[in-house]
Chain A
C-alpha cells in the first residue's frame, strides 16, 4: 500500500526485477520509462559502495560494480527501488532553437502525408522526455515524437552528419552532438552544444529531462 506519510507512490502495482549480469553487474528491470527514471534517480542519490556506473535504459537501470558485488549490495538496490515507493522527480527543461529544413524533411513530410510546415509545427509543438543516452557521447534518445512523424531509419546510414543535426529515427527524435555517421532522418540543425567533455556537466541532457524545440 501507500508508503510513509506524505509520500505518494507513483507505481503502486508495478513489478521490478533484479537480475545478475555476469560477475560484476546487475540489471533492474521495470515496466515503464518513468519507473526506470525514478529508479535511476533514486540509485544515483544513494551512496551504494563500489558502484562504477549506473546506466538508465528504456525499461531498466544497469548497475556496474567495480568488483563482484555481495548479496547485501544487491538487497540494498532491491529495497531502494521498491516500485511502490518510487516517485518521479521532475527533470530540468531545455528549450532548443532549431533551424528546420534538413535534407530529409521532404521525406518525413511525404511519409506522414503532411506539408513541410506542418511537420515542423508538430515537431516543435511536442514536449519530449530524455529517455536514455547512447550511440555516441551526449546523444540522447528523446521520447514523445508524435506518431505521425515516426519515420524509419534510412536504409543506408550517411557516413558523415554535421554536429547539431536534429533528426528522427523510428519513434525517437534527437540531436547529433558531434559530426559522425548516422542513419536518422535530418530535419534541421541547432547551435546548442550538447556535449563538451571540458564542461563540469559535459552532457546537456540527462535521463528524465524535458526538451522543447523552438523554430529559430
Chain B
C-alpha cells in the first residue's frame, strides 16, 4: 500500500492537478494548481506525468506521514519553504526543487513559506483520488474532487498511485522565480481595453499595488498603494467567459486578478490580463505584498511563456 496520512493539514492544503478541461460549460471553475508550470516541474522531478495530482500548499504546509510500506519519493516546487524529514527522532533538513525519499513511518514536515505564498508537492505515482469530470483537482465551489471537495484536515489518508517513471537527474530553476525585488508582472491588453481611457494600462503600470487580505484562489484583490487613486472607468459588461490572470475592474476601481477557482463567467470589464509566464509570480502574492505591472506585447509574452516551459526538467 502507498499512502500518506495527514498529521497536520497546514493553513490550506488542497489536492490539485492541471485542472478540469471542458468543465466551464457546466459552470465549473477549471481549478487546478494556481501555477501549473510549478506543479509540472515538481511532477517531473519525481518522474510523474505532467498531469499527476499533487498538493497545493498555502503559507503553512502540512505534516505528512508515510502510512504505507514502501518508500515514497516527493519534491516541492514554488515558494522557498522550510521543510524537514522526521526520521527516528531526528529532523533532517530537505531542499526544495530536489526529489527526496520518505520511508515508511517517516514524516515530512512542511513549515512556513519563506517569502511567496504557495508551493506544490508532487509524490511519485501521484495523489490517486478518483477522477471527477476528468480531473482530481479540488472543486471547493462544487464540493467535489480532491478529498471531499475541501482542503485537507488532520486524519485524511491520501492514496498514492504506482510509480511510473524515474526521477529527473537535475533540479528545477524557475526563470521567473520571486526575488527580493518588488515583483513586476507583464500585462497584456484585455478584451475590454478599448472601453477604458487610452492611458488605463499606463496608469495600471505607473503605480505600485498592494494585495488585499480578501484574496484567495478565486481572485487576488488589489488596492492602490500610498493613497494613490483607484482606476476610473470600471463598469459592467454582458457576462462573458473569464480566463486565468484576467484583471477585472469593477466600478469601485479596485482591480481583481482572477485565479483558478474564479467563476467561469463574469460581468465586469477586463482591461488587462497577466502574461502566462508570470502566473507563478501571481500565485506567490500574499496579502500585504506590493507589486507592479509592466506592459508587454503578445509576441514578448509568448516568448516569455516559452522560456519558462523550456526551463522545465526534461521528461
| Nearest residue, chain A, Cβ from B22 | A53
Chain B nearest CB from A131 CB (Å) reads 8
B interface footprint on A122-152 (CB within 8 Å = 1, 0 otherwise): 0000000000111111111100000000000
**Interface 9-mer from A60-68, A108-116, A185-193:** A60-68
* Chain A CB within 8 A of B104 CB: no
Residue of B nearest to A44 (CB): B25
Is A137 a contact of B21 with CB atoms below 8 Å?
no
Interface size class of B (residues with CB under 8 A): 35 or more
With A22-B245, A55-B241, A178-B142 as known contacts, state yes or no: A203 contacts B27, CB within 8 Å.
yes
Q: What is the interface size of chain A, counting residues whose CB is below 8 A from a CB of the partner?
A: 42
The number of inter-chain residue pairs (CB within 8 angstroms) is 132
- When distances are taken between beta carbons in the complex, the residues of chain A under 8 Å from B27 are 133-140, 195, 203
CA distance A23 to B29 in the complex (A): 19
The answer to whether A54 has its CB under 8 Å from any CB of chain B is: yes
B215 at the interface (CB under 8 A from A): no
| In the complex, B105 has a CB within 8 A of chain A | no
A160 to chain B, nearest CB (A): 14
CA A64 – CA B23 in complex, angstroms? Answer: 12
Q: Which of A24, A29, A206 has the most chain B CB atoms closer than 10 A to its own CB?
A: A24
Which of A137, A140, A141, A207 has the largest number of chain B CB atoms within 10 A? A137
Residues of chain A within 8 A (CB-CB) of B26 are 133, 137-138, 195, 202-203
Q: In the assembled complex, which residues on chain A have CB atoms less than 8 Å from the CB atom of B132?
A: 197-198
A56–B276 touching, CB < 8 Å: no
Whether A55 pairs with B265 at a CB distance below 8 angstroms is yes
Nearest-CB residue, chain B, relative to A207: B25
In the assembled complex, which residues on chain A have CB atoms less than 8 Å from the CB atom of B29? 137
Enumerate chain B residues within 8 angstroms of A21, measured Cβ to Cβ: 190-191, 243, 246, 273
Interface flag for A25 (CB, 8 Å) = yes
The reply to whether A68 and B302 contact each other, CB–CB distance below 8 Å, is: yes
Q: In this assembly, does A57 line the interface, its C-beta being within 8 Å of a C-beta of chain B? A: yes
Tell me the A residues contacting B by CB distance below 8 Å. Answer: 19-25, 27, 29, 52-62, 64, 66, 68, 132-141, 178, 180, 195, 197-198, 202-203, 206-207
